[in-house]
Every structure is written in C-alpha cells, then in structure tokens.
Amino acid sequence: MKSIVEQLNEIFFESLTTVFGSEISLPSPLIVPATNPKFGDFQCNIALPLAKILSEKPKVIAEKILAAVDLSDICEPLEIAGPGFINLKLTNDYLISQVEIIQNDPRLGVEKVTEPERIVVDFSSPNIAKEMHVGHLRSTIIGDAIARVLEFRGYDVLRLNHVGDWGTQFGMLITYLKEVYPDALTTADVLDLGDLVSFYKQAKVRFDSDDNFKKISQQAVVKLQAGDPENLKAWQLLCEQSRREFQVIYQLLDINLKERGESFYNAFLPVVVSELEEAGLLIEDDGAKCVFLEGFSNKDGNPLPLIIQKSDGGYNYATTDLAALKYRINTDQAHRIIYVTDAGQSNHFTQFFQVAKRAGILTEKTTVVHVPFGLVKGEDGKKLKTRSGDTIRLIDLLTEAVKRSRQDIETRLAEESRQEAPEFINHVAQVVGIAAIKYADLSQNRTSDYVFSYDKMLSLQGNTAPYLIYAYARIKSISREGNINYDELGENASIILKEVTELELAKDLLKLSEVIKEVESSLLPNRLCDYLYELSKKYNKFYENCPVLKVDEPIKTSRLILCDLTARTLKLGLSLLGIDVLERM
C-alpha cells in the first residue's frame, strides 16, 4: 500500500507534467505535510518557484494546477491560500477507506520492496580478549534496528559481526601471558575474561614502554598471521572464551549476528597487496607499503599514507577492510554495505573507500555507507565512565537497568497495594529495563552525543520505552475489561471518524509506511521513535476524549478497531527497534 503522501505526489506530478511540460524540472516531493493543521493536512508550494520560471503570478499558476488536478476521491475541494499555496484536506470517506485497508493487512500497509537487494549490515564488532563496554552499545542496537527495518521491507540482509580477533593486540597478549600465566595459552577458561582484560592492559603498558617486548610482540603477530600452531592454539582459546561472554549480552539484547572476524580474511590479504601493486597504487615508505591518499595531508602538508603492509610484513586494519569489502562484493554479492561505527572512524572509512575505488574493488554496482554515531555521555557531560575513570562494562549497564526497573515496579505495586508473582515482576523488569536502554539510545539522532540517565529512560512520562509499552498495555487492558477479542471485531465492521481525536489518531495510523520508508533511506531509527511517541500521545488524547466500552454500536466497534490498530502499530514499530511489549505492566 502506497502512503497517502506517495499517492498525492504521483497524482500531482503527472498532472503538472501534463500542464507545464516534462522539460520543467519539478522538485520532489511536491506535496508535504501542512505546517499548521488549520490549513489542512498537506500543502503544495510549487506555484512560487514556477512563477519565476514561467514569468506568471503564483496565484495564476496555482489556479492552473487546481484545474488540472483531480483529487475528488481523496480530498475536499482544494484551496489556494496567500500568494499561491495550495492546501489539501483529506475527506473522511477516503480516510476510512485507508484505515479499512490497513485493518485487514498483517503488515499494516507497509509493502515489501519489489527488488530485494542483498545488503550487508556490519555492526557491533567487539574485540576478542576484551569485555564489551558502553562504547559497543550504540553500534549494536543501531545496527540491529537498521537491519530489522531493512528485513521487514523485504531486503536480503546479511548481519555481520566484524570481530577484532586478529592483529597487534594478540601479539601483545600472547607474549605477556607466556611470561605471567602460560596455562591460559594451553587450557580453556583458566582465567576470567575480566582477568584477561587486566592482563591486556598490563601488556599494553609493556608494549608502549619496553622496546624489546614490543619487538617480540610484533614478531608474534607475524607468526600468528603465518599460521604458527602454538600461537594459533592460544589465539583460538582466547577467542572461544570471549565469544561465550559476548553471547550473554547478545541474548539479553536479542541480537542475531553472523560472526566473521578479521581473521577470516587473513588468507586474502596478500591478494589485496598484489592487486594494489598491479594498479600502481602502492609506494614503499620507510619499508612499509602504502597508498598515498588524495585530499588528505599530514602536518607538513604532504599526502597522507594509508599503510597496507608494515615493514615487518604484517598487515594493517585497512588491508583487512579492503579484503572484507572485496569478499562481500564478490562472494556475498552485496549490492549495499552499511558500516555502523562511531563518528571517530569517519576518516578511516573515507580513506579506505577511496583506495577501494581507485583499485577497482569498489565500483558503481555497489554502494557503501558509513553510519556514524556520537558518544554516550554521563550526566556531567563527559564521556560515560565509572568513578575510577574506567570504561563501563556493557553487562553492568544492562544489569543495573533491569535492577532499577525492578525497584520501580515493586514501588508502584506497593503504592497500588497490588500483589504479583515474582515471575511476573522479573519478566516486566527485564523487558522494561532492556527496552529503556535501547529506546533511550535509538530515540536520539544517532549523529549526536547523548546523556545517559537511568531516571529519564525508565520514566513512565515523556519519550521513553516505558511510556510506549504502557500505552500498548493500556489498550490490552481494554480487551480484558470488556472481554473483547480484537481478532473477532469483523472485517465488515464500519469505521466512524467524527471526533477530532478520532480523526487525528486515524491520520497518524496511516503514516507508518511513510515513516518506515524514511528510516530505510535515512538510516535514522529515531524517526521511527518519534512517530511511535506521537502516535502514543494521539492515542492517549483519543482515550481521554472518546469512551470505548461505554458507548453504543457501531461507534463502540469502530473505536475498538482504532485501539487494536494502535496496539498493532506500536508492537510492530517497537519490534523493528528490537523492543518487546507487555500485555500487562
């Protein structure tokens, strides 16, 4: 089902092309939502720019448009306002017909794409032998939400976890563990992941201060990349332990990913170097093989090098990224590749995309997109950390949210003198706590930093997950109170839209398709959050002003249909954000 604005734009575009000729460039979209509801639902402002092109008064052009456009099945008679603005107001009959369509559609009017491309979404990407921290939160849940929206639209989505399981960090850690805890390199799980993290930090200090240790660590990396059995076994043990820890978090967040770490592409790295050499891009600089970038310079103003192979024979991140890109294009057959990482990596992606294009790895057949995001900050406005200055572990962040959610529920139940089973309390606390964390992040424009606040994200007021989940639960309580089965309201039941809040709610329900397509194109999940929040507010106004159970038929059934559609829309929208709903709270 095409959205209302898509239908209107198609009709206007066809009519305007007939009147003014196809040689005139028309903007897209022609029709936009009205800036003020008192002027109608939509407006067309094309008469003003056309006036300059055609040397006619805007009002004259607007009158020509009105004479050519037939919207009698959709809108009230069109009106010209001011110097030539055209206002459009939808008819009740048309609104009712559109609501009836989505009522009988399991997808609520959101059509699938006709040509489902293969899309790779690269997100999360923690490092082996390190614990997932708050910095991994945004990539993980933003990437998941983008993947869910694209999957719902019908794309063939490959969710990839480009785990940091290769490189210098392992040379450092393996070299250090050989000295201080060799059993960890031969026996599984003799250390907790937290202990491995501590050893890694100590190894990094040695690496930065001890030249001999640094040299041995770099040699260990080269051995690992060359397939040395002893180093490979140690590496595998570290990887397996980390994966199990990561999976605990992925299960909590309901995240599904296919792991394909940096190590997967190790065998393809020499091929990348050869291809860059054949393309005439590689230049040796201090023993390292580099590509000098166009448009990037160092402090001295000279072209900036992107290191492809280090002087000791080891490879760099860019080499792995080029190999991964080549594999995703040639083997995965990806039409589009989306990388979800922090904004601090923007330069890296611009540089390696440039090299990929110059080498012929990336052609016009494939689109690559970097989806950047800002920092998570504490309420002091600084990067979110523990009091001691350490990065907060992601598992601690999630556990604390669930704990605080449980405290809120228990307090509310005590105030209401309401008894609930422990299983119910635990389930609600888990759903609300995790939902609050996800929604607080996704509701922000991802390009911006945001301030992390448990109190705000767990509030039942404002643009929060608990507010939306509560709106859904309120609708479900109506069915319990009235002993109503929403599935048995009847396909032929009439819908009546007379009250202002009924009309406003109906119009919002019809925007879902448009919003999801906008998220698909912009890759901004907060647009969906904004829509769901506005829908919930519209529903609450409707609920306050329009009795549902204490009215006569056919108004009762009509309002129950609006309730059901709102609940279904909230459930679908939240599911695309990776958030569960609750029948009761």
CATH code for the domain of 268: 3.40.50.620
pTM score above 0.75 = yes
R_g over Cα of the chain: 29
- On whether both 193 and 276 belong to a single domain, the answer is no
Helix (H, G, I), strand (E, B) or coil at 340: strand
529 DSSP assignment: H
Q: What pLDDT does 165 receive?
A: 87
- On whether both 271 and 253 belong to a single domain, the answer is no
- Residue 55 is encoded by which pair of tokens? 């040397």
How confident is residue 15, by pLDDT bands cut at 50, 70 and 90? confident
Residue 389 has pLDDT above 70, yes or no: no
Q: Are 272 and 319 in contact (CB under 8 A)?
A: yes
Q: What pLDDT does 244 receive?
A: 87
- On whether both 254 and 284 belong to a single domain, the answer is no
Higher-confidence residue of 573 and 219: namely: 573
Number of CB atoms found within 10 A of residue 370's CB: 18
φ, ψ dihedrals at 75, nearest 5°? -125, 160
d(CA 249, CA 132): 8
Look at residues 376, 407, 422 and tell me which one is the last residue of a structural domain.
376
Residue 111 lies in a domain: no
d(CA 506, CA 398): 36
How confident is residue 238, by pLDDT bands cut at 50, 70 and 90? confident
125 DSSP assignment: -
Question: What CATH number is associated with residue 21?
Answer: 3.30.1360.70
pLDDT tens digit sequence for 310-332: 888 888 889 999 999 999 999 99
Burial 159-185 (b: 16+ CB within 10 A, else e): bbbbbbbbbbbbbbbbbbbbeeeeebb
- On whether both 213 and 281 belong to a single domain, the answer is no
CA atoms within 13 A of residue 49's CA, in its CB half-sphere:
9
Residue 332 lies in a domain: yes
How confident is residue 140, by pLDDT bands cut at 50, 70 and 90? very high
- On whether both 160 and 285 belong to a single domain, the answer is yes
- On whether both 60 and 200 belong to a single domain, the answer is no
Q: Is 518 exposed, middle or buried (0-12, 13-18, 19+ CB in 10 A)?
A: middle
Residues in the chain: 585
66-80, 159-173, 190-204, 208-222: lowest mean pLDDT where?
190-204
Residue 584 lies in a domain: no
Residue 101 has pLDDT above 70, yes or no: yes
- On whether both 425 and 553 belong to a single domain, the answer is yes
Helix, strand, coil percentages (3-state) for the chain, rounded to 5, are: 55, 15, 30
Look at residues 307, 342, 376 and tell me which one is the last residue of a structural domain.
376
Look at residues 341, 376, 411 and tell me which one is the last residue of a structural domain.
376
Range of the domain at 69: 4-90
Which of 260, 255, 258, 246 is CA-nearest to residue 146?
255
Residue 444 lies in a domain: yes
- On whether both 370 and 469 belong to a single domain, the answer is no
- On whether both 225 and 306 belong to a single domain, the answer is no
Helix (H) or strand (E) holding 303: strand 303-309
How many structural domains compose the chain?
A: 4
Residue 109 lies in a domain: no
- On whether both 132 and 279 belong to a single domain, the answer is yes
Dihedral sign (CA 409, 410, 411, 415): positive
User: What is the 3-class SS of 425-440, one letter each residue?
Assistant: HHHHHHHHHHHHHHHH
Contacts of the segment 34-39: beta carbons below 8 A, 24+ positions apart: 34/87, 34/88, 39/81, 39/85, 39/87
Q: Residue 29: is the preceding peptide bond cis (ω within 30°)? A: yes
Helix (H) or strand (E) holding 243: helix 229-253
Residue 387 lies in a domain: no
Task: Please state, rounded to an integer, the average pLDDT across all residues of the chain.
Answer: 92
- Distance of CA 284 to CAs 51, 310, 351, 374, Å? 60, 10, 18, 36
Q: What pLDDT does 386 receive?
A: 66
pLDDT tens digit sequence for 243-280: 888 999 999 999 999 999 998 998 999 999 999 999 99
- Residue 173 is encoded by which pair of tokens? 């850690």
- Give the residue carrying structure tokens 């959610």: 405
- On whether both 330 and 420 belong to a single domain, the answer is no
Which of 584, 476, 483 is CA-nearest to residue 539?
476
- On whether both 218 and 347 belong to a single domain, the answer is no
How confident is residue 185, by pLDDT bands cut at 50, 70 and 90? confident
Residue 346 lies in a domain: yes
Residue 427 lies in a domain: yes
φ, ψ dihedrals at 159, nearest 5°? -90, 115
Q: Residue 554: is the preceding peptide bond cis (ω within 30°)? A: yes
- Distance of CA 468 to CAs 312, 457, 569, Å? 56, 12, 11
d(CA 399, CA 402): 5
Q: Are 369 and 523 in contact (CB under 8 A)?
A: yes
